[in-house]
Chain A
């Protein structure tokens, strides 16, 4: 699992690559600090190469979403696969995020 963070203008993008299972999420929870620090901006969570997510991974997404709500930023979840969309739908996460595909 890898998170690639880049910044351009007022937008910070985090590309999640691989499987966000419980042990991976423990590591990633440290990597997302720049996103939490910039939660007043637009945060794009690029999920094109995110192949799996468990509740621990969802917790990371929710943490980012809560930070943005608190600091007045915006979160866009980009290019989720059908499998991840299914998990988002099941857990009500589709209602919590602006999801953009394509």
Chain B
């Protein structure tokens, strides 16, 4: 089991850092490129949610991501000290609607839920803590 950390300010311009973070994890866990992209996407959506909703506009705050790499699963623990915000309660996009009827938003949390196998939220010590788990197939031998 190994762990990796990434901490950054709630600035949307920091998002590209996630790509390098995921790339390092993908290398360590020998993930294929397609899974790495999906994880990058789920993390971007979760982090963007924090940046947009957890902290009032213009205020500074930190977003921390802890990645735990195990043989059978990857776990990403996202935490921030912003206002209580539970993305698992957020309204999810209806992806079956026609273009004319589709609202512009709501896809972020939908993507997180679809890519990850488990997504849980808790509020603890004044922090939002979102845990996202992805099971890994153990057929490398």
Contact = CB atoms under 8 A, between A and B. Distances in A.
B13 interface: yes
B108 interface: yes
B13 A23 contact: yes
A90 B12 CA distance: 24
Given A55-B108, A91-B110, A86 B15 contact: no
Interface residues of A, number: 25
B97 to A, nearest CB: 8
B37 A83 contact: yes
Interface residues of B, number: 30
A22 B98 contact: no
Contacts of A21: 15-16, 19, 44
Q: For chain A, what secondary structure do more than half of its interface residues adopt (helix, strand, loop), or is it mixed?
A: helix
Interface string B1-42: 000000000001101100100000000000001100110110
A66 B99 contact: yes
A87 B40 CA distance: 12
A59 B107 contact: yes
Given A65-B99, A83-B34, A86-B34, A55 B19 contact: no
Given A59-B104, A83-B33, A96-B102, 20 more contacts: A19-B16, A19-B19, A26-B12, A52-B19, A52-B37, A52-B40, A54-B45, A55-B48, A62-B99, A66-B100, A66-B102, A83-B37, A86-B34, A87-B41, A87-B111, A90-B95, A90-B114, A91-B107, A92-B97, A96-B99
Interface of B: 12-13, 15-16, 19, 33-34, 37-38, 40-41, 44-45, 48, 93, 95-100, 102, 104-105, 107-108, 110-111, 114-115
